Protein backbone atom coordinates (compact mmCIF):
# COMPACT_ATOMS: atom_id res chain seq x y z
CA UNK A 1 0.00 0.00 0.00
CA UNK A 2 1.38 3.41 -0.92
CA UNK A 3 1.43 6.41 1.36
CA UNK A 4 -0.63 9.40 0.23
CA UNK A 5 1.49 12.27 -1.05
CA UNK A 6 1.84 15.17 1.34
CA UNK A 7 0.17 18.34 0.17
CA UNK A 8 1.63 21.75 0.79
CA UNK A 9 -0.50 23.78 3.18
CA UNK A 10 -2.46 26.56 1.52
CA UNK A 11 -2.25 30.02 3.05
CA UNK A 12 -5.17 31.10 5.21
CA UNK A 13 -6.25 34.10 3.18
CA UNK A 14 -8.34 35.61 5.95
CA UNK A 15 -6.14 34.95 8.95
CA UNK A 16 -5.17 37.46 11.61
CA UNK A 17 -1.65 38.60 10.86
CA UNK A 18 0.36 38.37 14.05
CA UNK A 19 3.31 36.60 12.44
CA UNK A 20 6.19 39.05 12.02
CA UNK A 21 7.57 37.15 9.01
CA UNK A 22 4.42 37.07 6.87
CA UNK A 23 5.10 38.75 3.59
CA UNK A 24 8.88 38.71 4.01
CA UNK A 25 10.55 37.89 0.73
CA UNK A 26 7.37 38.30 -1.32
CA UNK A 27 7.38 40.95 -4.05
CA UNK A 28 6.49 44.08 -2.10
CA UNK A 29 6.79 42.15 1.18
CA UNK A 30 8.27 43.41 4.44
CA UNK A 31 11.77 43.52 3.03
CA UNK A 32 10.78 45.72 0.07
CA UNK A 33 10.24 49.46 0.00
CA UNK A 34 6.54 50.22 0.27
CA UNK A 35 6.56 53.99 0.31
CA UNK A 36 5.66 56.14 3.31
CA UNK A 37 4.07 53.33 5.33
CA UNK A 38 7.30 51.33 5.30
CA UNK A 39 9.47 54.27 6.29
CA UNK A 40 7.17 55.31 9.15
CA UNK A 41 7.08 51.92 10.82
CA UNK A 42 3.56 50.81 11.56
CA UNK A 43 1.64 53.98 10.72
CA UNK A 44 -1.64 54.04 8.85
CA UNK A 45 -1.70 51.99 5.66
CA UNK A 46 -2.92 53.76 2.54
CA UNK A 47 -5.06 51.80 0.07
CA UNK A 48 -3.32 53.51 -2.87
CA UNK A 49 0.06 52.27 -1.60
CA UNK A 50 -1.33 48.73 -1.33
CA UNK A 51 -2.70 48.96 -4.89
CA UNK A 52 0.67 50.26 -6.13
CA UNK A 53 2.53 47.42 -4.37
CA UNK A 54 0.19 44.88 -6.00
CA UNK A 55 1.67 45.87 -9.36
CA UNK A 56 4.47 43.52 -8.34
CA UNK A 57 2.15 40.56 -9.01
CA UNK A 58 2.40 39.58 -12.67
CA UNK A 59 0.08 37.11 -14.37
CA UNK A 60 2.63 34.64 -15.73
CA UNK A 61 0.38 33.55 -18.59
CA UNK A 62 -0.05 37.10 -19.90
CA UNK A 63 3.09 38.85 -18.60
CA UNK A 64 1.26 41.93 -17.29
CA UNK A 65 0.71 42.89 -13.67
CA UNK A 66 -2.71 42.21 -12.18
CA UNK A 67 -3.44 45.87 -11.40
CA UNK A 68 -2.97 47.01 -15.01
CA UNK A 69 -4.91 43.98 -16.21
CA UNK A 70 -7.84 45.21 -14.10
CA UNK A 71 -7.97 42.10 -11.92
CA UNK A 72 -7.91 44.13 -8.68
CA UNK A 73 -11.42 45.47 -8.14
CA UNK A 74 -11.13 47.09 -4.70
CA UNK A 75 -8.57 47.70 -2.00
CA UNK A 76 -10.07 48.85 1.30
CA UNK A 77 -8.04 49.68 4.39
CA UNK A 78 -9.69 50.45 7.72
CA UNK A 79 -7.68 50.57 10.95
CA UNK A 80 -4.86 48.74 9.10
CA UNK A 81 -7.23 45.87 8.23
CA UNK A 82 -6.80 45.25 4.52
CA UNK A 83 -9.47 43.77 2.26
CA UNK A 84 -8.76 43.15 -1.41
CA UNK A 85 -11.40 42.06 -3.90
CA UNK A 86 -9.95 40.60 -7.04
CA UNK A 87 -10.91 38.42 -9.95
CA UNK A 88 -9.11 36.17 -12.37
CA UNK A 89 -9.04 36.07 -16.15
CA UNK A 90 -11.48 33.16 -15.89
CA UNK A 91 -12.91 30.74 -13.31
CA UNK A 92 -10.56 27.95 -14.39
CA UNK A 93 -7.40 30.09 -14.26
CA UNK A 94 -4.64 27.63 -13.29
CA UNK A 95 -2.52 30.30 -11.58
CA UNK A 96 -5.41 31.73 -9.54
CA UNK A 97 -4.31 30.30 -6.17
CA UNK A 98 -0.76 31.54 -6.76
CA UNK A 99 -1.94 35.07 -7.63
CA UNK A 100 -4.26 35.16 -4.61
CA UNK A 101 -1.43 34.02 -2.35
CA UNK A 102 0.92 36.68 -3.73
CA UNK A 103 -1.69 39.39 -3.17
CA UNK A 104 -2.09 38.19 0.41
CA UNK A 105 1.67 38.17 0.96
CA UNK A 106 2.10 41.72 -0.29
CA UNK A 107 -0.82 43.09 1.74
CA UNK A 108 0.26 41.23 4.89
CA UNK A 109 3.80 42.53 4.37
CA UNK A 110 2.83 46.13 5.10
CA UNK A 111 4.15 47.16 8.53
CA UNK A 112 1.23 47.29 10.94
CA UNK A 113 -1.10 45.20 8.75
CA UNK A 114 -3.60 43.40 10.94
CA UNK A 115 -6.35 41.32 9.36
CA UNK A 116 -5.77 40.69 5.67
CA UNK A 117 -8.55 39.30 3.53
CA UNK A 118 -8.30 38.51 -0.19
CA UNK A 119 -11.62 37.65 -1.80
CA UNK A 120 -12.14 36.30 -5.30
CA UNK A 121 -15.20 37.79 -6.95
CA UNK A 122 -16.76 36.95 -10.29
CA UNK A 123 -19.13 39.86 -10.75
CA UNK A 124 -18.63 41.76 -12.88
CA UNK A 125 -16.85 39.29 -15.13
CA UNK A 126 -13.36 40.44 -16.15
CA UNK A 127 -13.28 42.16 -19.51
CA UNK A 128 -9.90 43.53 -20.60
CA UNK A 129 -11.59 45.88 -23.11
CA UNK A 130 -13.10 47.87 -20.25
CA UNK A 131 -11.02 46.98 -17.17
CA UNK A 132 -7.40 46.89 -18.33
CA UNK A 133 -5.26 50.04 -18.36
CA UNK A 134 -4.46 51.69 -21.68
CA UNK A 135 -0.88 50.39 -21.39
CA UNK A 136 -2.13 46.81 -20.91
CA UNK A 137 -4.56 47.17 -23.81
CA UNK A 138 -1.68 48.28 -26.06
CA UNK A 139 0.39 45.24 -25.02
CA UNK A 140 -2.61 42.93 -25.56
CA UNK A 141 -3.42 44.49 -28.92
CA UNK A 142 -6.87 45.69 -27.85
CA UNK A 143 -7.85 48.77 -29.80
The domain limits of the chain are 36-140
Q: How many Å apart are CA 111 and CA 103, to the nearest integer? A: 15
Residue 107 CA to residue 87 CA, distance in Å, equals: 16
Which residues are CB-neighbours of 47 under 8 A, at least 6 positions away? 75, 76, 77
Which helix (H) or strand (E) segment holds residue 118: the answer is strand 116-120
- CATH for the 36-140 domain, from 3.40.50.800, 3.60.10.10, 3.40.1080.10, 3.30.300.130: 3.30.300.130
Q: What is the pLDDT of residue 111?
A: 95
Residue 107 to residues 21, 41, 62, 82, 116: CA-CA distances in angstroms? 13, 15, 22, 7, 7
Quick: pLDDT tens for 73-103: 999 999 999 999 999 999 999 999 999 999 9
- Write out the chain's pLDDT in tens, 143 residues: 555 445 444 333 333 333 333 343 343 444 333 433 343 456 899 999 999 999 999 999 999 999 999 999 999 999 999 999 999 999 999 999 999 999 999 999 999 999 999 999 999 999 999 999 999 999 999 98
pTM of the predicted model, to two decimals?
0.72
Amino acid sequence: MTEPAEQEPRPNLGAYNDDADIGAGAPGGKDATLGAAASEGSGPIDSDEVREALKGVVDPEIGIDIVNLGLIYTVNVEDNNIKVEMTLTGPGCPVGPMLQSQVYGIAAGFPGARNVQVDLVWSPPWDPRTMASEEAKDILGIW
